[in-house]
Structure 1
Amino acid sequence: MQVQDDSKPYDSINITPMLDLAYVLLVIFILMTTASVQGLTMNLPKPSNKPSTEQHEVKIVQVQEGGTMLMNGMGISLAELESQLNAAKARDPKFSVMIKGDARAPYAGIIAVVDLVTRLEIENVGLVTSRIGT
């Protein structure tokens, strides 16, 4: 008959409780990170099945790499853009604004244009995109 010696040290540590705690902390971190994401509220146009025969004015606002803005190819400041969009809205309430941002343009410039269009309550707004590599 063999007697076991209880004074012998353990040769392994049970890490299961530590892993459980790590997984719980990871889940909490993921939930808290995704819960704080905020965005812009935009009313996107809905497609219709019939083509429109109405012709409305279109303004293309482009934000360039240095933060400068162009409207239909002409340089413009944010204050001038506001006055011209107000004048265009007075002429044709259903005119369209297309916002085009250069790939290296500061995002704050694009957001400033979106905020201006929202403040002026212009309904027909589009974001111009291009294919990758063009």
Structure 2
Amino acid sequence: MPLKVAQDENLNLNLTPMIDVVFLLVIFFMVATRFTEAERNIELELPQVPAAGEAAAPIKPRVITVTNEGQTLLDGEPVAIEELTTRLADEVRRSPDVQVVINGDARTPFQAVAAALAACREARVEDLGITVELAAKAGSTIR
């Protein structure tokens, strides 16, 4: 049985949606071009930064370590609390954005860590951090 294929001679293609899309694209590009011209006409004096190779080095924080015996170390060097206060105060006078991190051993008496905190406060250190480790116990939650 031969198949007969009927051809519809009135095949119409609706171009209206395509014309709408092209029209919207033309409007978009016209408006976008106007924005870039307006930005070029704004007179700005841009801030200057050092060249990419000359970027300022990030500030390395000073590290105060309180050992389990209560000994205080500043960047690995043993210091007394009074000397710690003096050295930090001198550094704050030279550069007010001094960063200090306190590492306290969990087995040390808290008084030794509190003395280091008091030395930082007396030296007027504003950027101060304390390192801790979160306990990973089964079923525990942090509130």
Which AA in structure 1 matches 2:132?
T
Is 1:81 aligned to residue 84 of structure 2? yes
Aligned counterparts of 1:131 and 1:74: Cα–Cα separation in 2: 27
Which AA in structure 1 matches 2:86?
S
| Bigger Rg over Cα | 2
Across the aligned residues of Structure 1 and Structure 2, the Cα RMSD in angstroms comes to 1.8
Which AA in structure 1 matches 2:103?
K
Aligned counterparts of 1:75 and 1:110: Cα–Cα separation in 2: 15
Aligned counterparts of 2:132 and 2:60: Cα–Cα separation in 1: 20
Is 1:92 aligned to residue 98 of structure 2? no
Name the % identity. Answer: 23
Q: 2:68·2:105 contact (CA, 8 Å) conserved in 1?
A: yes
**Per-residue CA distance 1:38-87 (angstroms, 9 max, x = gap):** xxxxxxxxxxxxxxx77324110011111101111111111111111012
Is 1:67 aligned to residue 70 of structure 2? yes
Aligned counterparts of 2:117 and 2:78: Cα–Cα separation in 1: 18
1:120 deviation in Å?
A: 2.2
Aligned counterparts of 1:120 and 1:84: Cα–Cα separation in 2: 8
**TM-score, structure 1 as length reference:** 0.55
Give 1:112's aligned residue. Answer: 115
1:90 match: secondary structure: helix
Give 2:42's aligned residue. Answer: none
Moved over 6 A (4+): none
Bigger helix share = 2
Structure 1 residue ranges without an equivalent (≥5): 1-52
Structure 2 residue ranges without an equivalent (≥5): 1-55, 137-143
Q: 1:69·1:75 contact (CA, 8 Å) conserved in 2?
A: yes
Equivalenced residues, count: 81
